[in-house]
């Protein structure tokens, strides 16, 4: 638990018995954390966990009123002020700037999301995918750049924790082909999601802000806190051949990064062993220590 929250709790004991005063004091001393993509699957885990965790005041962003309504149905209307409609890709960043300026940390959980277009590739006979809610260049690069710039403008020691993806060391990774269109002149447009993500990661590292970059493997919609987690770098993780990890465990690692300064200035890959194999991870400091100081090498792979 953050020290400032413990101090607030002790002060509450000295007050004259008003629970409202105690709550107000706790909130005044809570760490304000902006969670972008709070309506998404991984972002929801991060946002809900921070809501339930003492010492935090999370603010979740969603892109539409429908997403806001759906999120509030799960957490209660009493949290309405903590769920805000904000499109991080908007060229007018005034709303984003206002949200970030008083924050202690930013958790970036937004990502372009591929979906079948309904068409079939005539050569491969496989479904074609597109990005109906924004191409990777817009969401994973320009949107994340807007967030990083907002944190820099706030002139604060804002810790940015970025959820990205494994696979970035291989420019030919199949994920980069999703949403990519070959033009008549042979050039291509769209897609390259891992390259745009990697571009945003480099921009964050060069921003001067405290950062943590997490590259999860394939994301599972399965319960967390049931597996041994494994870290590595450059798409190589010792100790397991498994390449997936529950979204909830990704959220756990991202939150651990907020609470352990050793996670600052780090970039790494994350997967889990299958349930029942190994020892369930509970100590995230020991987990980080398994990297032995290594970080991802950004001379590998390509940026867009």
Q: Which residues are catalytic?
A: 165
Q: Phi-psi category of 55—alpha, beta or left, where left has phi over 0 and alpha has psi -120 to 50? A: left
| 3-state class (DSSP) for residue 30 | coil
- Say how far apart CA 132 and CA 117 lie, in whole Å: 9
CB 109 within 8 A of CB 39: no
> Nearest Cα to 275, choosing from 219, 222, 221?
222
- Record the tokens describing residue 90, joined without a space: 């908007």
CB 283 within 8 A of CB 260: no
- Record the tokens describing residue 115, joined without a space: 């979906």
> Nearest Cα to 62, choosing from 191, 73, 280, 52?
73
- Say how far apart CA 46 and CA 202 lie, in whole Å: 23
Whose tokens are 């760490």? That residue is 31
């Amino acid at each position: 638990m953050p020290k400032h929250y413990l101090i607030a709790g002790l002060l509450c004991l000295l007050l004259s018995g008003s629970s409202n005063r105690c709550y107000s004091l706790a909130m005044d001393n809570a760490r304000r954390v902006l969670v972008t993509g709070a309506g998404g699957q991984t972002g929801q885990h991060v946002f809900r966990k921070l809501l339930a965790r003492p010492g935090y005041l999370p603010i979740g962003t969603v892109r539409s009123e429908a997403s806001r309504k759906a999120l509030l149905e799960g957490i209660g209307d009493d949290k309405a002020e903590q769920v805000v409609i904000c499109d991080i890709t908007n060229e007018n960043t005034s709303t984003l700037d206002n949200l970030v300026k008083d924050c202690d940390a930013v958790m970036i959980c937004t990502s372009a999301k591929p979906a079948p277009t309904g068409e079939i590739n005539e050569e491969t006979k496989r479904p074609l995918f597109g990005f109906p809610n924004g191409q990777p260049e817009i969401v994973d690069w320009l949107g994340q750049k807007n967030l990083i710039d907002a944190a820099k403008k706030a002139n604060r020691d804002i810790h940015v924790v970025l959820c990205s993806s494994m696979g970035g060391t291989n420019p030919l990774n199949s994920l980069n082909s999703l949403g990519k269109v070959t033009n008549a002149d042979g050039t291509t447009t769209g897609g390259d999601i891992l390259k745009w993500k990697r571009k945003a990661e480099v921009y964050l590292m060069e921003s001067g802000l405290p950062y943590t970059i997490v590259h999860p493997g394939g994301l599972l919609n399965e319960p967390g806190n049931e597996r041994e987690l494994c870290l590595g770098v450059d798409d190589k993780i010792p100790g397991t051949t498994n390449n997936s990890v529950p979204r909830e465990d990704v959220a756990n690692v991202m939150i651990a990064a907020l609470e352990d300064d050793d996670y600052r200035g780090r970039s790494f890959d994350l997967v889990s062993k299958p349930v029942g194999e190994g020892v369930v991870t509970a100590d995230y400091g020991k987990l980080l220590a398994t990297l032995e100081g290594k970080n991802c090498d950004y001379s590998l792979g390509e940026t867009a």
